[in-house]
Amino acid sequence: MNRFYSLAHASIDFHFKQSPRDFVVEEIPLYEFSGEGEHLILFARKKGLSTIEMIERIARYLGIKNKEIGYAGLKDKHAMTKQYISLHRKYEEAMEGFNFDGIKILSKTYHNNKIRIGHLKANRFYIKLKKVNPTSAAKIDEILKNIDKQGVPNFFGYQRFGSDGNNHIFGEKLAKGEARERNPRVKKLLINAYQSHLFNLWLSRRLEINSLVNSFEANELESLLNMPKDEIEKMKAQSHPFKLISGDIMEHYPHGRLFDYEGAEDDLKRFNKRDISVTGLLPGKKARLATMEARAVEKDYDDDINADGARRYAWVYPSDIEGRFNQVEAQYELNFTLPKGSYATVLIEEIAKRKIN
């Protein structure tokens, strides 16, 4: 898909390729582990393996099922990643002899509960951009200041769509009962890719609307956007780069309950203060739908599929952003933290203002 970007700068030329040397991610757990309990918590470093592949290696070594090993989230294969996994404490002695190329246990502790999907707060990234000249480095410095100030759109990254980028095509057929997949994990992954594709299309359209609102007068946009003039004027009056539309579904940030945006000034203030953020639709059953003018945009990216739907933050705020330019090596090093479920490669694409895969 051709997507819109949130920042106004021209594209920047640099080289980036995911590899364990240039792409490092460390998981930040949702809670502090108690140090006692029946579950062994291992802090594991892996490279050249997906999280599922790491789990499979450990499960095969211990002679147990994959589901007996807990983890909070899936980490990229083409990176060096550090994440927490949990096992029953009875496997502690056996794990002392575990040795597999690409996996290293860095530390251990204990906890009362098994780690489950979603039990993470955020991820901390270290990324290296190469073939960066001084002019580009200065531009990246300014872009990072803008991102730190205003945040970024929360697109799904290219990793979501498979090596050929087409997982969503078969996912749509599965979601509509037009194809079959025996492996339930693979089926869910493919359907999620289709939901993610629709979300990305919607988010790109919303960024396009933002651009139009900033570029044209309200009377010119009325027919162009097929929206009432007073709605467009309300959008033009907003200071946030993402323009809210009446009927948007908001969520307390970085987690919390959903509620409808009805144009209240207090909600705009909370949005600007990062207390709340706007959400987009992952189509499916049980998902809460936008209303009013926001629904008029959203419905073009909705679909009646046999899967559970949800809402996802459309706008997120990277934190603890650091950037360093090494002129001798022509490299730019980045550190930043993203909330769970957000993609570092999306932030890199916002900086580059182009596709990087």
Residue for token pair 């892996």: 46
DSSP 42-68: EEEEEESS-HHHHHHHHHHHHT--GGG
Q: Burial of 76 by CB count in 10 Å (0-12 exposed, 13-18 middle, 19+ buried)? A: buried
Residue 270 pairs with which residues in a beta bridge? Answer: none
How many angstroms separate the CA atoms of 240 and 282, rounded?
24
**Any idea what DSSP says for residue 154?**
-
How many angstroms separate the CA atoms of 84 and 132, rounded?
34
**Any idea what DSSP says for residue 160?**
G
| Residue 321 backbone dihedrals phi, psi, to 5 degrees | -80, 130
- CB-based contact 278:297 (threshold 8 Å): no
- CB-based contact 243:210 (threshold 8 Å): yes
**Any idea what DSSP says for residue 91?**
G
Choose among 267, 272, 270, 294: nearest CA to 281: 294
Residue for token pair 């330019």: 325
Choose among 71, 118, 113, 110: nearest CA to 91: 110
Residue for token pair 């995911």: 18
How many angstroms separate the CA atoms of 297 and 189, rounded?
26
Residue for token pair 């209240």: 264
- Point out the catalytic residue in the list 22, 76, 267, 302: 76
| HSE-up of residue 293 (Cα within 13 Å, Cβ side) | 20
Catalytic residue check, 76: yes
Please identify every residue annotated as catalytic. Answer: 76
